[in-house]
Amino acid sequence: MQTAAVPAEKTADIAMSVVTAMRQLGVMGLPRNYEIFYEALTGTNRDLSLEVVSLSSRPTQQELDRIGRKYFAHNHTHAIVDNARETLAKELEEVARLLRQERSHMEKYGEILDQTSTGLAGLNVINREILQKIVGVVSVATTSTIDHGKQMVSALSEKSAELESVKEALEEYKLLADTDSLTHIWNRRAFDRKISSVYNDKKRVMFSALILADIDRFKDINDRFGHPVGDKIIQIIADLMKLNARTDMFVARTGGEEFALIVEGTEQATYDLAESIRNLVAQTQFVSPTGVNYGPVTISLGICMASEADGADDLYSKADRALYRSKITGRNRVTKFSTVQDKPMKSWLLYKKD
């Protein structure tokens, strides 16, 4: 959903109103929650505004998620994944049932053979009539078991094909749930999982780094040319990042005009990569098919080595502080966290909109 353009002089007031309202209601500072309250306060969606107003004095995250699913459904595809998992679980249970049934059948067949063997041991004389009866019993049991075995193979084969189909669908749904619908790169959900995994391996911590990038003065672009143009610029920059990153690098859009890259290498190699991306964006001509020039468009970046942080949240926070330093020192530049003095930083909302 695209929000209507808001006059520049009102943006700061709206941003502060959003933050104030969320704090008063005890709402967590999640990107989706900011989006809900921003839409509500700008009045671009009357129904959404009414639902927000009707919330309790301490709304739960479940209530907010319900509103998010209703008005921003494209970001809630994880429900599809849950449904696919449930289907897969049912199919696996059916296979387990068939295997239990087969085990029971073979146990019964074993009992028949045991009884026959016991009966033979108790006979002193085996005449032709007894032998014919024994052969008849074993023959029937064997034929039955062979037929049942064929049916079981056929049933398991069908179930195997069904399971494979469900697994393929599940993988597609998982990919959909982890992909940003605008840029087709990884989204914030996938990014949060990926950055957490860095700290599951001590070796990865030693050689991993996070790069955060943010489009400079993006609000001005939206105000001047409209949100469709802003979306197109986001798409182009995402493509530039994908083209400039190695296949083993993780590239995501983490929200709005912000991107993140998780890479492996030294601090200098990470800085060089960030610089190459910055230069590539700065040198790109953002021109419409009719010749309208939307540029210049630049990005600011901040980097932090995983070894400089205590965990995923700390790593993101420190990379964000380096990004903020790039913003306040002129934009269109890269800053290493290792060069940033450890001073309190202002809220990200104060620079995200300029």
Indicate which CATH number applies to the domain containing 273.
Answer: 3.30.70.270
Domain range for residue 325?
188-352
Please compute the mean of the pLDDT values over residues 105-121 and round it to a whole number: 58
On whether both 267 and 284 belong to a single domain, the answer is yes
Please say if the pLDDT value at position 67 is more than 60: yes
Please compute the mean of the pLDDT values over residues 129-149 and round it to a whole number: 60
On whether both 123 and 267 belong to a single domain, the answer is no
On whether both 67 and 92 belong to a single domain, the answer is no
Per cent of the chain over pLDDT 70 is: 62
**What is the count of structural domains for the chain?**
3
On whether both 231 and 220 belong to a single domain, the answer is yes
Q: Alpha-carbon distance 301 to 271, whole Å?
A: 10
On whether both 95 and 203 belong to a single domain, the answer is no
Q: Active-site residue among 35, 51, 257, 264?
A: 257
Asked if the structure places residue 2 within a domain, the reply is: no
Please compute the mean of the pLDDT values over residues 25-53 and round it to a whole number: 79
On whether both 152 and 266 belong to a single domain, the answer is no
On whether both 82 and 163 belong to a single domain, the answer is yes
Please say if the pLDDT value at position 174 is more than 90: no
- Starting at the earlier edge strand, list the strands of the sheet with 299-305: 250-255, 258-264, 208-215, 299-305, 334-336
Q: Which two tokens stand for residue 276?
A: 């190459």
Please, are residues 195 and 106 in contact by the beta-carbon 8 Å criterion?
no
Structure confidence at residue 3 (pLDDT): 40
Verify whether residue 257 is a known catalytic residue: yes
In which band, very low, low, confident or very high, does the pLDDT at 264 lie, cut at 50, 70 and 90?
Answer: very high
Please, are residues 303 and 293 in contact by the beta-carbon 8 Å criterion?
no
In which band, very low, low, confident or very high, does the pLDDT at 120 lie, cut at 50, 70 and 90?
Answer: low
Structure confidence at residue 244 (pLDDT): 82
Residue type, position 47, single letter: D
Please compute the mean of the pLDDT values over residues 216-238 and round it to a whole number: 94
In which band, very low, low, confident or very high, does the pLDDT at 105 lie, cut at 50, 70 and 90?
Answer: low
In which band, very low, low, confident or very high, does the pLDDT at 19 lie, cut at 50, 70 and 90?
Answer: confident
On whether both 305 and 335 belong to a single domain, the answer is yes
In which band, very low, low, confident or very high, does the pLDDT at 6 lie, cut at 50, 70 and 90?
Answer: very low
On whether both 151 and 246 belong to a single domain, the answer is no
Q: Alpha-carbon distance 260 to 183, whole Å?
A: 13
Asked if the structure places residue 140 within a domain, the reply is: yes
Query: 298 CB contacts (<8 Å, ≥6 apart)?
Result: 215, 216, 278, 281, 282, 331, 332
On whether both 125 and 249 belong to a single domain, the answer is no
Among 113-122, 214-223, 318-327, the range scoring the smallest mean pLDDT is 113-122
On whether both 268 and 216 belong to a single domain, the answer is yes
Among 91-100, 124-133, 291-300, the range scoring the smallest mean pLDDT is 124-133
On whether both 235 and 336 belong to a single domain, the answer is yes
User: Which of the listed ranges 19-23, 166-170, 299-303 does the model predict with the highest average pLDDT?
Assistant: 299-303
Per cent of the chain over pLDDT 90 is: 39
